[in-house]
């Protein structure tokens, strides 16, 4: 049931943000490993609190509500930028805003960090691997395997 709900949610996000290009977790993992291609800039569009619990290893936090575009001013125009959040909604919205602002090579991570973690990929806190992901809230957290929930949730 969880995967059916998650797949339906990803379909709704894709439908609402039709112009936003996506990467899946396999594609992002390949981009992070391929030294022959420019390494993507990975932006975490969750709250600072969520980011502090864990994030994808190279991710840089960006405020999805008031993004600091100066962070992107030094990024090469051909360097891919992958934005993620918990499940993909906030990051798709931010990717759409960045695209409208003229940022190119921007992608939303389909399924967000929840899918990344659910697939058993490494997540980090303070440059060290961790097993926890902020579940956002009790409802959305049901899309995240219980083993990734911090004990206080």
List pLDDT tens digits, range 82-108.
999 999 999 999 999 999 988 889 999
What are the residue ranges spanned by the domains of the chain?
2-67+77-148
Q: Is the pLDDT of residue 153 over 60?
A: no
pLDDT in tens, 117-135: 999 999 999 999 999 999 9
Sign of CA dihedral 23, 26, 27, 30: positive
* pLDDT tier for residue 72 given thresholds of 50, 70 and 90: confident
Q: Which fold has domain 2-67+77-148?
A: Oxidized Rhodanese; domain 1 (3.40.250)
Distance CA 31, CA 33 (A): 5
Mean pLDDT score of the chain, rounded to an integer? 92
What pLDDT does residue 96 have?
A: 96
Claim: this prediction has a pTM higher than 0.85: yes
């Amino acid at each position: 049931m969880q995967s059916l709900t998650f797949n339906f949610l990803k379909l709704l996000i894709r439908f609402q943000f039709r112009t936003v290009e996506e990467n899946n977790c396999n594609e992002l993992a390949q981009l992070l490993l391929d030294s022959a291609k420019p390494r993507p800039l990975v932006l975490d569009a969750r709250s600072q609190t969520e980011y502090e619990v864990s994030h994808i290893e190279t991710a840089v936090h960006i405020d999805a509500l008031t993004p600091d575009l100066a962070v992107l001013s030094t990024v090469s125009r051909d360097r891919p930028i992958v934005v993620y959040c918990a499940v993909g909604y906030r990051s798709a919205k931010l990717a759409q805003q960045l695209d409208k602002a003229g940022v190119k090579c921007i992608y939303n991570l389909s399924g967000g960090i929840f899918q990344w973690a659910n697939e058993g990929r490494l997540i980090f806190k303070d440059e060290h691997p961790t097993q926890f992901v902020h579940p956002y809230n009790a409802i959305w957290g049901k899309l995240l395997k219980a083993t990734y929930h911090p004990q206080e949730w």
